[in-house]
Amino acid sequence: MRRVVGAVPLSRRGLLRAGGLGAAAAALAGTPACSVPTGSTGRQMTLWYWTSGLSDKVVGEARRKFTAVDLRPVQIGGYFRSKLLTNMAGRAYVPDITGLKGEDMASYHANADQFMDLRALGADALADRYLPWKWRECITSQGRMIGFPIDVGPTAHYYRPDVFERAGLPTEPDDVAAQMSSWDTYFAAGRRLRKKVPGASMILGMTDVFQYAIGQSTERFVDKDKHFIGDGEHVRHAWDLAVRAKRMGITSHLRPGSPDQTAALAKGRLPSQLNPSWWSADLKLSAPGSKGKWRVARMPGGPANYGGSFLAITKYCRKPEQAFEIITWLLDADNQTRGFTDAGLFPSTPASYTHKAMRAPDPFFGGQVTVDVFGPAAEKIPVAYNSPYDVAVSQPIRDEIVNINDLGKDPDDAWRDAMSKVRRIADHLGVS
């Protein structure tokens, strides 16, 4: 008995396991995966993307079309970014072409030397075919173009006319947009909804309001010169809006992404949701029974962008001209239209918005042509500088928004707590 319980080997094992934790951080620089050989023969060209990151059909066609190289598309599962970083840090088996997610773009900007400058390959000639703000997100402050636009995530107001009608609110998309053009009028409609339809909430939670109000502004949390601007007017405004929504009692108590939210969407207890274009796929999956009951209207307070991604050519690519030819073909207007029909990727090419395939009435939205809402929204996204430090620095602010929303914390205390935490983090990161 005693030998089994021998403490020393056990705690040693515990120590080793704990060491494994330390290893997790370092694992990024560890040995690379060896399933994706690249560049060794000179003909192979690997393309990394994630599930539904590109239209599989278009990628398959590219394989057949570009025979000068042996295009090897690989769908990377799991946490895409950490796998890409692992191989970049190991300088081995780095893909020639890779997808980059929009939310990670700022951190890639800081390491622009890892990617080919697409302007040097002639990208400028194609600029006018893409959304200008999206194009600008590809270009670093030094003028290097490190990515090429895949899709965008323009936001809109998803709503249910059947519930709006019971609340005495407008039901047609244009009327809804006209009556709820600003946050103020949207909140007022929310109060009416709460009064007329008991149990229904206009807004899921404060986080939605805060996040989109920030997205509608032209500033984030850290500026180009690494100065902290998260205490600025734009953040204060978004914060106050979120607090007001809570105080007016028009937010729900449901957790984002919970089964409760799904049920509420299906039952009409969340008849209004502010979300990006790609959310329609989620909605169709999670509330299939509500088919035909939804519409989309223009977003209160103007459009914002949420999500979207890029294709980049890494510096390890041996045939950048070939790679450039491939990505520009993959992402031309026609193929982006197919990306929309095959994978729900909203095109960054305005020419696609008038394409027949995108103008097909959507039965889930009662036969509405949703591109009429998302298309103009995509063209009016405000341009903002995204800093690689935004996520870290804004975390306490977003945490405190949750504390007000869920725990009813006093907003002034919450703001003070957020700011004192932010200051420490900013110091630590060298943000002044």
Residues 379-408 that bind another protein (CB under 8 A): 388, 391-392, 395, 398-399, 402-403, 405-407
Contact 120, 313 (CB under 8 A): no
The DSSP letter of residue 145 is B
Determine the interface stretch with another protein among 13-21, 64-72, 161-169, 334-342 (rule: CB under 8 A).
13-21
Measuring CA to CA, which residue among 318, 301, 310 is closest to residue 380? 301
User: Per-residue contact track with another protein, 107 to 146, x per CB under 8 A?
Assistant: xx-xx--x--------------------------------
**C-alpha angle 427-428-432 in degrees, rounded to nearest 5:** 30
CA distances to 16, 30, 308 from 23, rounded to whole Å, are 10, 9, 32
Interface residues for another protein in 21-60 (CB under 8 A)? 21-31
Nearer to another protein, 147 or 375 (CB): 147
User: Would you count residue 266 as binding another protein (CB under 8 A)?
Assistant: no
Q: Which residues contact 227 (CB under 8 A, 6 or more apart)?
A: 431, 432
User: Would you count residue 13 as binding another protein (CB under 8 A)?
Assistant: yes
**How far apart are CB 245 and another protein at their closest, in Å?**
16
**How far apart are CB 44 and another protein at their closest, in Å?**
24
Applying CB under 8 A, among 11, 141, 182, 432 the residue interacting with another protein is 11
Applying CB under 8 A, among 14, 37, 42, 292 the residue interacting with another protein is 14
* Residue 46, H or E segment: strand 44-49
Q: Where are the alpha helices (DSSP H) in 66-116?
A: 80-90, 105-109
Q: Strand, helix or coil at 113?
A: helix
Interface residues for another protein in 293-332 (CB under 8 A)? 307
Q: Quote the tokens at residue 188.
A: 């007022």
Determine the interface stretch with another protein among 10-18, 59-67, 137-145, 348-356 (rule: CB under 8 A).
10-18
**How far apart are CB 215 and another protein at their closest, in Å?**
12
The whole-angstrom separation of Cα 116 and Cα 55 is 24
Sign of the Cα torsion 189, 190, 194, 197 reads positive
**How far apart are CB 376 and another protein at their closest, in Å?**
24
Nearer to another protein, 350 or 388 (CB): 388
Interface residues for another protein in 210-249 (CB under 8 A)? 211
Q: Tell me how far the alpha carbon of residue 277 is from its chain's centroid.
A: 11
Applying CB under 8 A, among 56, 162, 223, 260 the residue interacting with another protein is 260
The whole-angstrom separation of Cα 86 and Cα 67 is 30
User: Per-residue contact track with another protein, 150 to 169, x per CB under 8 A?
Assistant: --------------------
Q: Quote the tokens at residue 104.
A: 């990670």
User: Would you count residue 18 as binding another protein (CB under 8 A)?
Assistant: yes
Strand 70-75 to 44-49 pairing: parallel
Interface residues for another protein in 269-298 (CB under 8 A)? 282
